[in-house]
Amino acid sequence: QVPLKPGRSLMDWIRLTKSGKDLTGLKGRLVEVTEDELAKHNKKEDCWICIRGFVYNVTPYMEYHPGGEDELMKAAGTDGTDLFDQVHRWVNYESMLKECLVGRMAVKPIAAPKEMKAVAYIVFLQQIPEDETILCMKTFITKYIMVCSKKVYIFFFTVFLFYSYDWFQTDSLITIVVYTKQKAKLVIVDCQDKRLRGEIVIDDHSYLVEVDLYHAVQEDLAVNITEKVGKVEIILKKKENIHWKILGQPLENHNTFIKRTDRGLFYRKCKLVSKTEVTHDTKLFCLMLPKSTHLHVPTGQHVYLKQIIAGTEVVKPYTPVLPSLPLDFKEPSCHDGAHIYLMIKIYSCGPFTQALEHLQVGDYISVSNPEGNFKKSQVQTSEDLFLLAAGTGFTPMVKLLDFALTEVSCLRTVKLIFFNKTEDDILWRNQLEQLALKDKRFEVKFILSQPTKDWVGKEGKISSSLLSEFVKRSRKDSKVLICICGPTPFTEQGVQYLKDLGYSQEEIHAFTA
Ligand code: FAD
Ligand code: NAP
């Protein structure tokens, strides 16, 4: 983030987009843009960018971009989709930039190579609704295509045969089975009205079953994951005990297996069931998932919340925590799976958190699927775990602490170094101190940047000397993992200091967007 000039906040941008001002310079006309035309608009005062086939005139937005003008200029006059996805694919640009829309990119006709055509046929075949005869025909034709075009065989085999689904029924149940052949990292299922969406994440890929069901089902559903054989079952309860001829009509992304980052974010509405104070400016929001949703947010991952603010969709990331720290850690903590807890700091001038502050118990808010690149296996092989958190950068550390202390037996030390401005800002201080008393492996150190004169603890900001004092291997060659989270400059400086102190990239995990 760069400091924005006064009058250039998100709210100012939303106001400008609603003012009726012609922001594209085209008086509301939409044009078809060729690559040559796009390339001409590559200056700050005349800057067009293409995202997913749509071209935007971003010149009026320059001064409002939280990442700064230079970042935006990196994509000037070009297709900025990849850059956008790398930095913040979750930002709802369609809504934020809708008044800047110039038009669509002109489509260049391309001759599809033979292999691609074969793949397209197979994809087409996968879309056809199934009964047994059609299934047989599909299998036959698919095999024929595979024989004709050997090059697509491997692609086809891994993509479509490896990850495929089957379904069967009893009088009262519909069971959809997906054989993943390996451990599914994450299974997320939603059933809204008759639309079923089941996403299975395997490594960094996602397989999707997405159908408009043939008949209605009851609200509650169940998901069984058999890790050993790599099988996922989605069990739906029929509303009426009648025989289903087909599972339903496939929807747009049904039966596809693509990179997880290429899958659009999916949201469901969750009910706010409680909002409790954590500190003077931070609250614990408890959201209830719909009965027809199966979703566990993995340790180290975040979700996105979406709200309409002054008529514009705004999206921000938040990292789910637990309702409390694992003070009783004999058994792995069990979480009911029906609730998501978010610890959120309310900023007096933050449009998103101000809107959250105004949410009432009983209101609904859109919550996305989880994202993030933290791998639990990083902790499972560590002997010393260091958690460096600043402010709400504490949030990813909550589940991490729970996981480390309840499920990782090889850990000898777990140390949280928690940076805050004042004592009043320390989140869950009491619980952290209790946890340190209960578990000899856990230690917490509070460091304040703006303490009152009564503070007898450590004072300062993240620095090389503070880190060399607190981050030390328990044995000369012990395996260490250092996780860091806070304001971007805090995280960036921290990572640099750690590297200067001799820690390798593999020993550091920085939580970022
Ligand atoms: P903003 O408008 O973003 O303002 C927040 C503060 O930043 C204000 O003090 C404002 O004055 C200042 N500010 C705004 N723009 C700029 C700028 N351009 N330059 C400098 N300062 C600026 N937050 C939580 O509370 N809990 C979480 O669990 C959590 N998880 C997160 C997970 C991830 C992966 C990330 C990236 C962020 C997370 N955040 C979390 C932060 C959260 O997404 C929002 O950024 C935060 O809630 C502020 O939103 P806002 O719109 O209310 O305020
Ligand atoms: P804060 O109260 O403003 O700051 C917490 C501590 O960090 C204070 O001691 C503060 O010192 C210090 N600090 C702030 N900016 C710093 C900088 N530039 N360099 C070094 N130290 C700095 O923090 P907050 O308002 O809770 O903000 C938390 C941040 O964490 C947000 O930016 C949020 O987006 C981020 N976050 C990220 C994730 C993620 O997964 N990526 C998750 C949760 C939160 P000073 O006295 O100098 O201010």
Span 205-225, pLDDT tens digits:
899 999 999 999 999 999 998
Buried-exposed string 127-146: b where 16+ CB fall within 10 A, e elsewhere: eeebeeeeeeeeeeebeebb
For residue 204, name the pLDDT band (cuts at 50, 70, 90).
Answer: confident
Residue by residue, DSSP assigns 44-69 as TTEEEEEETTEEEE-GGGGGG-TT-H
Half-sphere exposure of residue 202, counting CA atoms within 13 Å on the CB side?
22
Res 161: pLDDT: 43
DSSP collapsed to 3 states, 337-402: CCEEEEEEECCCCCHHHHHHHCCCCCCEEEEECCECCCCCHHHHCCCEEEEEEEHHHHHHHHHHHH
Half-sphere exposure of residue 443, counting CA atoms within 13 Å on the CB side?
14
Query: Is residue 411's pLDDT more than 60?
Result: yes
| Percent of the chain with pLDDT strictly greater than 70 | 88
Contact at 8 Å (CB) between 209 and 178? yes
In ligand 1, the atom with minimum distance to the C-alpha of 354 is 52
For residue 302, name the pLDDT band (cuts at 50, 70, 90).
Answer: very high
Shortest CA distance to 372 belongs to which of 418, 336, 324, 320?
320
Reported as a single tens digit per residue, the pLDDT across 144-176 is 555 555 444 444 444 444 567 889 999 999 999
Q: For tokens 């994951």, what's the residue?
A: 225
In ligand 2, the atom with minimum distance to the C-alpha of 282 is 26
Give the predicted TM-score (pTM) of the model. Answer: 0.85
Provide residues with CB under 6 Å of ligand 2. Answer: 302, 319, 345, 390-393, 395-396, 419-421, 425, 449-450, 461-462, 485-487, 489-490, 493, 511-513
Q: DSSP code of 224?
A: E
CATH 3.30.110.40 for the 267-371 domain, yes or no: no
Domain boundaries, the chain: 10-105, 164-262, 267-371, 376-510
Q: Which CATH superfamily is domain 10-105 in?
A: Cytochrome b5-like heme/steroid binding domain (3.10.120.10)
The finding on whether 319 has its CB within 6 A of some atom of ligand 1 is yes
Region 395-422: what's the mean pLDDT? 95
Chosen CATH of 164-262 out of 2.60.40.10, 1.10.10.10, 3.40.120.10, 2.60.40.790: 2.60.40.790
In ligand 2, the atom with minimum distance to the C-alpha of 486 is 30
Contact at 8 Å (CB) between 384 and 474? yes
For CA atoms 380, 384, 390, 391, give the dihedral sign.
Answer: positive
Phi, psi of 92 (to 5 degrees): -85, 80
- Enter the tokens of residue 317: 């990331």
Ligand nearest to the CA of 466: 2
**CATH number of the 376-510 domain:** 3.40.50.80
